[in-house]
C-alpha cells in the first residue's frame, strides 16, 4: 500500500520527478500487486497526455517517460511569433532562439514545459487516470493469474457464514469466492475452515474479480478423483458418467483403457486408501464405484449394485439418453435395489441414462 501513496504523491503533485523514485515505485507496484511496470508507464503517459489536453487545451502534447533514466518530459508544439497572444500554442522569437538558434518566425517548435507549472487541477486529473490504471492493471493481473484455475479445484478458507440465508464467503489468497445457491454440500461449516471447492466461473465487476465455486457439481467429484487417482489423471482410467445426490450418495462409472489396470480397484486404492481421502472430503457422502460397460444390460446390472440382479430384459433404446429396461431381482433384493426413498434405483437410472423398471423375480414368473 505504501508504494501506491508513493506513486500517487510523486505523479499527482508532478514536480520535477526524480528517476529512481518513479521507477522504484513502479517496481514496487509490480512486486506487490502483479501490475507490470510497462503497463503502469503507459497509464502514466496517458494520464499526463489527457491532463495536458483537458487542462491546458493542447491538442497534441508530446509526453515521454524514459525507461532508463526515468526523466519525464512534456512538450507542447508552439508556433514562433513576434508577440505571444496564447502561450499554450505560441512562443516568442526571443525564447525560440534559446531552444533552437536557427529558429525563424512561423516555425513550429517542441517547447518543453516546466513540470513545476502543473497545478492542482492538473494533478487531480492525472491522479484520477493513474488510480484507475492501477485498479485496471491489478484486475488484469488477477484475471491472468486465475485463468489457469478455472474449472479446477482450489483450497479456500471460509471467512463468513450467514446462518439464516446459508450464504458463505470464502477467500482464495486475496480473492473472494462465493457459493451460488445449492452449490454447497449440506454439512456443517465453520469460519476459518479450509475447503476444497471447484471453480465454476471467474466473475468481474468494474473494479474487482471474484469466484463462483461449487462442491455439489459432478465436476467436483471428477476433479477429486483426478487428484487422488494417478490413473485417472493420466487418462489410463476414464470417468464415463457420474450421478449424484449431494451429501448422500454418488455413483460413478469408470473404464480402463489398459487391460492390465482394473478401473474400480485403481479408484479404491490399496486397502481403500484413495477412496478414503475422497470420502473424508465429502463429509460422509457415500460413493459407489461401478465398472462401465458398453453393453447396456451389463452396465445397468452393475449400476443397480449393491443389489444382485437376476436379469435385464425388455431393453428399449430410442437415443443415447432415452432408454428403458426391466431389471429382475430376487424378492429379498428388491428393497436393496430400490434403496432408501428410491435413491439407489434413481441414481442407477441417472448414471445409465436409462429408465429402470424393477421387477421382483416371483412377479416376473407369475408366482
Residue 174 forms part of a structural domain: yes
For the chain, the average pLDDT equals 81
Checking if the pLDDT of 9 tops 50, the result is: no
Q: Are residues 15 and 136 in the same domain?
A: yes
Are both 203 and 332 inside the same structural domain?
no
Say yes or no to pLDDT of 245 above 90: yes
Q: Is the whole-model pTM more than 0.85? A: no
Nearest by Cα to 195 from 247, 159, 219: 159
The stretch 294-303 carries a mean pLDDT of: 94
Question: Which is higher by pLDDT, 221 or 32?
Answer: 221
Residues 6+ apart with CB under 8 A from 128: 47
Could you tell me the three cell numbers for 144?
A: 491472468
For residues 8 and 126, membership in a common domain is answered with yes
276 found inside a domain? no
pLDDT category of residue 262 using cuts at 50, 70 and 90:
very high
Confirm if 253 and 239 have CB atoms less than 8 A apart: yes
Phi first, then psi, for residue 330 (nearest 5°) are: -60, 150
Q: Tell me, what's the pLDDT at 303? A: 96
- Its domain, for residue 307, covers 295-367
Integer-rounded Cα Rg, in Å, for the chain is 34
CA 9, CA 4: separation in Å to the nearest integer? 8
- What is the tens place of the pLDDT at every residue in 321-340? 789 999 999 999 999 999 99
Name the domain count of the chain.
Answer: 3
First-to-last C-alpha distance (Å) of the chain: 82
CA–CA separation, 337 and 335 (whole Å): 5
362 and 299 fall within a common domain? yes
Which residue, 198, 214, 230, sits at the end of a domain? 214
**Residue (of 330, 322, 332, 319) closest to 354 by Cα position:** 322
Instruction: Read off the CATH number of the domain in which 204 is found.
Output: 2.40.50.140
116 and 192 inside one domain: no
Q: List the CATH number of the domain containing 301.
A: 3.30.300.20
pLDDT in tens, 122-164: 556 556 666 676 777 777 777 777 777 788 899 999 998 887 7
Of 235, 242, 230, 164, the residue nearest 198 (C-alpha): 242
Look at residue 325 and tell me if it is in a domain: yes
Please say if the pLDDT value at position 265 is more than 80.
yes
Are residues 87 and 63 part of one domain?
yes
Q: What is the pLDDT of residue 49?
A: 79
- From the list 200, 222, 204, the residue with the least C-alpha distance to 213 is 200
Q: Which of 97, 117, 146 is the last residue of a domain?
A: 146
Answer yes or no: is 114 within a domain.
yes
Amino acid at each position: 500500500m505504501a508504494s501506491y501513496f508513493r506513486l500517487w504523491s510523486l505523479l499527482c503533485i508532478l514536480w520535477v520527478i526524480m528517476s529512481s523514485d518513479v521507477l522504484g515505485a513502479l517496481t514496487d507496484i509490480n512486486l506487490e500487486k502483479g501490475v507490470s511496470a510497462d503497463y503502469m508507464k503507459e497509464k502514466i503517459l496517458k494520464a499526463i497526455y489527457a491532463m495536458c489536453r483537458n487542462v491546458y487545451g493542447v491538442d497534441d502534447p508530446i509526453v515521454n517517460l524514459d525507461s532508463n533514466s526515468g526523466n519525464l518530459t512534456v512538450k507542447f508544439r508552439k508556433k514562433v511569433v513576434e508577440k505571444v497572444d496564447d502561450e499554450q500554442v505560441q512562443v516568442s522569437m526571443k525564447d525560440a532562439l534559446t531552444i533552437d538558434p536557427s529558429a525563424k518566425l512561423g516555425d513550429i517548435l517542441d517547447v518543453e514545459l516546466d513540470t513545476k507549472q502543473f497545478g492542482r487541477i492538473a494533478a487531480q486529473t492525472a491522479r484520477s487516470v493513474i488510480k484507475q490504471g492501477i485498479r485496471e492493471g491489478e484486475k488484469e493481473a488477477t484475471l491472468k493469474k486465475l485463468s489457469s484455475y478455472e474449472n479446477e479445484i482450489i483450497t479456500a478458507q471460509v471467512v463468513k457464514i450467514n446462518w439464516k440465508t446459508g450464504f458463505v464467503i470464502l477467500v482464495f489468497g486475496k480473492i473472494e469466492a462465493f457459493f451460488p445457491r445449492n452449490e454447497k454440500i449440506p454439512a456443517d461449516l465453520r469460519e476459518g475452515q479450509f475447503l476444497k471447492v471447484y471453480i465454476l466461473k471467474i466473475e468481474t465487476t468494474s473494479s474487482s474479480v471474484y469466484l463462483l465455486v461449487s462442491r455439489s457439481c459432478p465436476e467436483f467429484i471428477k476433479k477429486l478423483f483426478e487428484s487422488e487417482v494417478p490413473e485417472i489423471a493420466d487418462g489410463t482410467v476414464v470417468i464415463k458418467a457420474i450421478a449424484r445426490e449431494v451429501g448422500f450418495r454418488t455413483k460413478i462409472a469408470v473404464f480402463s483403457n489398459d487391460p492390465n489396470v482394473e478401473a474400480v480397484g485403481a479408484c479404491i486404492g490399496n486397502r481403500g486408501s484413495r477412496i478414503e481421502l475422497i470420502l473424508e472430503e465429502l463429509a460422509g457422502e457415500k460413493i459407489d464405484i461401478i465398472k462401465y460397460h458398453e453393453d447396456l444390460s451389463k452396465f445397468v446390472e452393475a449400476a443397480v449394485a449393491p443389489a444382485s440382479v437376476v436379469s435385464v430384459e425388455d431393453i428399449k433404446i430410442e437415443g443415447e439418453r432415452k432408454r428403458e429396461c426391466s431389471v429382475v431381482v430376487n424378492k429379498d433384493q428388491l428393497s436393496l435395489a430400490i434403496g432408501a426413498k428410491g435413491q439407489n434405483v434413481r441414481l442407477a437410472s441417472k448414471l445409465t441414462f436409462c429408465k429402470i423398471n424393477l421387477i421382483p423375480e416371483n412377479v416376473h414368473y407369475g408366482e
